Structure 1
Amino acid sequence: MYLGILAGMEITQAQYERIVHCLPLQRGNVSLSNLNVLNAILYVAEHGCKW
């Protein structure tokens, strides 16, 4: 699921395939992929998060 809000630092599917073996396995009933979570972390790292 791509939300269209990420710009700048974003990992593509091809890049993700190269690092997926370094990430924990996805288990259980999850609604977000590890790729989406990783891209969200990069978004906050680049743009910050104002509360």
Structure 2
Amino acid sequence: MEISKAQFKIIEPLLPVQRGNVKIPNIQVINAILYIAEHGCEWRGLPENFGKWYSIYMRANR
């Protein structure tokens, strides 16, 4: 399950503003979290097309 750009525009105001040198956009982080929730895999099992698993994990924890 992935959210579209139109769906993301609806929830974007509810997310924290990206600060600093952020390489992974919020939509990619949201889609990675949805992937983890849907497949029930560990963070290390996240496919590489979402980015580095550790970066996604740290963003999700913040």
What value does the CA root-mean-square deviation take over the aligned residues? Answer: 1.2
Q: Alignment partner for residue 32 of structure 2, among 28, 32, 40?
A: 40
Residue 20 of structure 1 corresponds to 12
- The structure carrying a bigger helix percent of its residues is 2
Gap regions ≥5 residues in structure 2: 45-62
**Structure 1 runs of 4+ off > 4 angstroms?**
none
Gap regions ≥5 residues in structure 1: 1-8
If the length of structure 1 is used for normalisation, what is the TM-score? 0.77
If the length of structure 2 is used for normalisation, what is the TM-score? 0.64
Matched pairs, number: 43
What's the % identity of the aligned pairs? 58
